[in-house]
Amino acid sequence: MKFYPVAIIIFVFCLAAQSSAVIEVEKSFVRFQGETVSVDDPVGHLVGAFGEPYHKEKKTNWTRVGRNRVVERDVFLWFYRLGGAYGGETDDYKFIIYDGIVQKIVEID
């Protein structure tokens, strides 16, 4: 009988942690208002189609090339909120960019 309240507390905590989790779905392209941006498109096409992002982040990754060489690469994360016209739903997207090319598109729920 002692373990019953502890089990309920653990169950509620797990349920709360699961409901607040962010779900990310990888996409190969995004279409909005007649404009399409896909993976491997240049950044200029992204800005021309959707404008400036509402948030930008910059990260630095180090990649090992060969045995004794490490390459530093700047990776940019651009966040867009698309939709919402005429009371519709908005969708959040994260574009992962490096070398001036869209490398990955992730829908954030």
90-107 confidence digits (pLDDT tens): 889 999 999 899 999 999
Which sequence spans correspond to the domains of the chain?
Answer: 25-108
The fraction of the chain above a pLDDT of 70, given in percent, is 80
pLDDT recorded at residue 55: 95
Strand order from edge to edge, sheet including 90-98: 24-27, 101-108, 90-98, 69-83, 55-65
Cβ contacts of residue 62 below 8 Å, gap of 6+? 70, 71, 72, 73
6-23 confidence digits (pLDDT tens): 667 776 666 555 555 567
Taking the whole predicted model, whether its pTM rises above 0.85 is answered as no
Query: Which token pair is 47?
Result: 């800005």
